[in-house]
Chains A and B, each alone.
Chain A
């Protein structure tokens, strides 16, 4: 067994960046305040000192520039890892990400690649209000050419980021702000994996709770409460929304006969609809014993008031309630 120790999600991401930079000279970082300041959430702390200003580049406040320049550098074989200070700011760079990065391999007839990663802190829970708290995955999930990764824990974050940096495609890596300080057992040394595969984080027989990012922790807590009520919930951490590991989800629902999807972004147009449709279009449909349910963010911007903020995104009790309702048929 490789040696492991408990470190935070932010530290695990930093280790993946550090390992990639140490082993591959074409990897470099760029973003707003990522150098001396270490990034808005401290993820890149210390890397400027270790790798210098050429490879840990503070940029102007210029999201189009950051993503567009990463695209240009990636086209000639560099492996830029660019940071959006908040995932909300991806909106500024949407054209460079969705129309350029995602499409150039196709539009170059396969004769060029865009091996870049766009890291972005995402999600609510920090009182950062409506323009700094969104979960943007469904904005991007409709764009072929992109990969979208949302790790829920430190060990996955390290392996998935390593895989994302090595991947020849543009990968959007969404890091939940509330997870940065969460700790987990993480192996020492570089490892890679998990891109494109979901994982069953808690086995159960009665209902499949499909979720990702910070919601995995709420679903696991809910699974604990449900156990006390005699309900045996299975929790699936999707990890990668695009490409989506359909078979793990379909397999789980075929076993439990019930599906509950949980996500933080608003219900309408959220990725939960995609999961629900995937299951109902699949062989698992024949095994469904109850209608599919979704627990998602409310149809409103994230408020700054801390209590209201909690109220607009799914909490453990919302998940428990929905699971109980599904089981009640």
Chain B
């Protein structure tokens, strides 16, 4: 079985463009393109920063920008995002300072490397595989109990569908009929493991049948196809129709992460062939074709993104090394563990753990410390 791969943007030659998805104006198309460029610019700059030793190991997403900005454009501000590491900068499209995301990769947590998930309705970057999927379902279920029109969307890769967490989250979501969109970016590689060795089905989308939910397969290099499928899934979810599985079929054009070298396990000429489909230039050509943007516009959008990210790098590097006390600040929400044991007085009277001075407020970007909004 090979499910049809839905697309909107053709190739400008033999493959014609389909209609612009309903509800998207030219202004929307330009806004979406800006987001793609911002994500691309962030990613390229982050890889460079890692190579220079200015941030730690980084999980790049080059080529998958459309699977992020596309579905997000379909989301309402109330909806919650659950990114994996491959969508690490998606919060930037929700107002998280890009310097905060860079600080996260630098290991500068505490006051700077985290955003307030409730302020941005964006969960933190999930690095273990599939463990955030039950959380997305739990959140949507909480919204259902509270009768709030809130949906959740969680991103994961093809490899995540082999995990028990994925199965249990899919099953729960369908049994409880919650508004969760399971957005699978099938880039056909889980580090060195190809799709054929990950699962025996031909597609990911067909797995939806086992959970009695719709399974949709779209071109993962087509931001508008990703948008359209997500838009329909969210509408269905909000109307009580339950969850949807979307498979965004694409190819991992880059390495798994900055510690990975794909030449060790795959033929890079294959990646080169897929590269012609990558979403940023594809969207640019499409907008030129439609006459919505011209070359000057493309130029200025690119320059604007570069400026934003350069500023973010500057802000990230202005953040001071955090003090050791952050090691213990958030182990328990109810205070440091010693306050339950012998009390802070005893902590101060011993050299274990190290006594440290409280960190003074540091200059830096907003980390989303604002009061969390009520509700989900």
| A interface, CB within 8 angstroms of B | 28, 54-55, 57, 59-60, 62, 64-65, 67-78, 80, 95-96, 99-100, 104-115, 144-145, 147, 167-169, 196, 243-247
Besides the contacts A109-B110, A111-B369, A115-B333, what 10 more A-B pairs have beta carbons closer than 8 Å? A55-B145, A60-B168, A68-B165, A68-B169, A73-B141, A76-B80, A111-B114, A145-B331, A145-B332, A243-B340
**Inside 8 A of A57's CB, which chain B residues have their CB?**
176
Beta-carbon contacts under 8 Å, B76-131 to A: 80, 109-111, 113-118, 123-124, 128, 131
User: CB distance B117 to A108 under 8 Å?
Assistant: yes
Across the A-B interface, the 6 shortest Cβ-Cβ residue pairs: A68-B134, A72-B138, A109-B114, A72-B135, A65-B168, A243-B340
Nearest-neighbor residue (CB-CB) of B104 within chain A? A109
User: CB distance A95 to B333 under 8 Å?
Assistant: no
Expressed in whole angstroms, the Cα–Cα distance for A77 and B374 within the complex equals: 9
User: CB distance A68 to B133 under 8 Å?
Assistant: yes
Expressed in whole angstroms, the Cα–Cα distance for A28 and B164 within the complex equals: 24
**Which of A60, A106, A110, A243 has most B Cβ within 10 Å?**
A110
User: CB distance B334 to A68 under 8 Å?
Assistant: no
User: CB distance B117 to A243 under 8 Å?
Assistant: no
User: CB distance B141 to A196 under 8 Å?
Assistant: no
User: CB distance B113 to A109 under 8 Å?
Assistant: yes
Instruction: For the complex formed, measure the closest distance between the CB of A106 and the CB atoms of chain B, giving whole angstroms.
Output: 5
**Inside 8 A of A80's CB, which chain B residues have their CB?**
138
User: CB distance B138 to A73 under 8 Å?
Assistant: yes
Beta-carbon contacts under 8 Å, B325-341 to A: 329-334, 337, 340-341
Expressed in whole angstroms, the Cα–Cα distance for A109 and B142 within the complex equals: 23
Question: Between A and B, how many residue pairs show CB distances below 8 Å?
Answer: 146
User: CB distance B131 to A95 under 8 Å?
Assistant: yes
Contact of B164 among A55, A59, A64, A75 (CB under 8 A): A64
**Inside 8 A of B332's CB, which chain A residues have their CB?**
105, 145, 147, 168-169
- Given known contacts A78-B145, A110-B329, A111-B368, is B168 in contact with A68 (CB within 8 Å)? yes
**Inside 8 A of A104's CB, which chain B residues have their CB?**
124
User: CB distance A95 to B168 under 8 Å?
Assistant: no
User: CB distance B135 to A246 under 8 Å?
Assistant: no
**Inside 8 A of B351's CB, which chain A residues have their CB?**
none
Expressed in whole angstroms, the Cα–Cα distance for A65 and B211 within the complex equals: 14
**Inside 8 A of B118's CB, which chain A residues have their CB?**
76, 111-112
CB-defined A-B contacts under 8 Å, sample of 5:
A62-B168, A73-B138, A76-B143, A105-B332, A169-B332
Contact of A70 among B113, B114, B138, B164 (CB under 8 A): B138
Is B342 interfacial (CB 8 A cutoff)? yes
- Given known contacts A68-B138, A111-B115, A112-B117, is B145 in contact with A243 (CB within 8 Å)? no
**Inside 8 A of B133's CB, which chain A residues have their CB?**
68
Expressed in whole angstroms, the Cα–Cα distance for A157 and B99 within the complex equals: 47
Number of interface residues of B (CB under 8 A): 50
Expressed in whole angstroms, the Cα–Cα distance for A255 and B331 within the complex equals: 33
Residues 123-161 of B, flagged 1 when their CB comes within 8 A of A and 0 if not, give 110001001011111111111010000000000000000
**Which of B109, B145, B375 has most A Cβ within 10 Å?**
B145
Is B203 interfacial (CB 8 A cutoff)? no
**Inside 8 A of B331's CB, which chain A residues have their CB?**
105-106, 144-145
Nearest-neighbor residue (CB-CB) of B124 within chain A? A108
User: CB distance A95 to B128 under 8 Å?
Assistant: yes
Expressed in whole angstroms, the Cα–Cα distance for A59 and B139 within the complex equals: 16
- Given known contacts A65-B134, A105-B330, A113-B333, is B142 in contact with A78 (CB within 8 Å)? yes
Instruction: For the complex formed, measure the closest distance between the CB of B56 and the CB atoms of chain A, giving whole angstroms.
Output: 15
**Inside 8 A of B165's CB, which chain A residues have their CB?**
64, 68, 95-96
User: CB distance A54 to B145 under 8 Å?
Assistant: yes
User: CB distance B134 to A75 under 8 Å?
Assistant: no
**Which of B118, B330, B331, B332 has most A Cβ within 10 Å?**
B332
User: CB distance A71 to B134 under 8 Å?
Assistant: yes
**Which of A65, A99, A108, A247 has most B Cβ within 10 Å?**
A65
Is B376 interfacial (CB 8 A cutoff)? yes
**Inside 8 A of A100's CB, which chain B residues have their CB?**
131, 135
Instruction: For the complex formed, measure the closest distance between the CB of B181 and the CB atoms of chain A, giving whole angstroms.
Output: 14
**Inside 8 A of A145's CB, which chain B residues have their CB?**
331-332
Nearest-neighbor residue (CB-CB) of A144 within chain B? B331
User: CB distance B172 to A59 under 8 Å?
Assistant: yes
Expressed in whole angstroms, the Cα–Cα distance for A147 and B341 within the complex equals: 13
User: CB distance B337 to A109 under 8 Å?
Assistant: no
Instruction: For the complex formed, measure the closest distance between the CB of A20 and the CB atoms of chain B, giving whole angstroms.
Output: 15
Nearest-neighbor residue (CB-CB) of B154 within chain A? A72
Is B5 interfacial (CB 8 A cutoff)? no
Nearest-neighbor residue (CB-CB) of B117 within chain A? A112
**Inside 8 A of A64's CB, which chain B residues have their CB?**
134, 164-165, 168
Nearest-neighbor residue (CB-CB) of B374 within chain A? A77
Expressed in whole angstroms, the Cα–Cα distance for A185 and B139 within the complex equals: 39
Expressed in whole angstroms, the Cα–Cα distance for A320 and B347 within the complex equals: 37
**Inside 8 A of B340's CB, which chain A residues have their CB?**
196, 243, 245
**Inside 8 A of B134's CB, which chain A residues have their CB?**
64-65, 67-69, 71-72, 96
- Given known contacts A72-B142, A75-B117, is B333 in contact with A65 (CB within 8 Å)? no
Contact of A75 among B123, B128, B334 (CB under 8 A): B123
Expressed in whole angstroms, the Cα–Cα distance for A75 and B81 within the complex equals: 13
User: CB distance B168 to A245 under 8 Å?
Assistant: no
User: CB distance B334 to A109 under 8 Å?
Assistant: no
**Inside 8 A of A59's CB, which chain B residues have their CB?**
172
Expressed in whole angstroms, the Cα–Cα distance for A169 and B341 within the complex equals: 16
**Inside 8 A of B333's CB, which chain A residues have their CB?**
105, 110, 113-115, 168-169
User: CB distance A76 to B337 under 8 Å?
Assistant: no
Beta-carbon contacts under 8 Å, B355-376 to A: 367-369, 372, 375-376
Expressed in whole angstroms, the Cα–Cα distance for A206 and B142 within the complex equals: 53
- Given known contacts A167-B334, A247-B341, is B175 in contact with A69 (CB within 8 Å)? no
User: CB distance B145 to A28 under 8 Å?
Assistant: yes
Contact of A243 among B113, B116, B141, B341 (CB under 8 A): B341
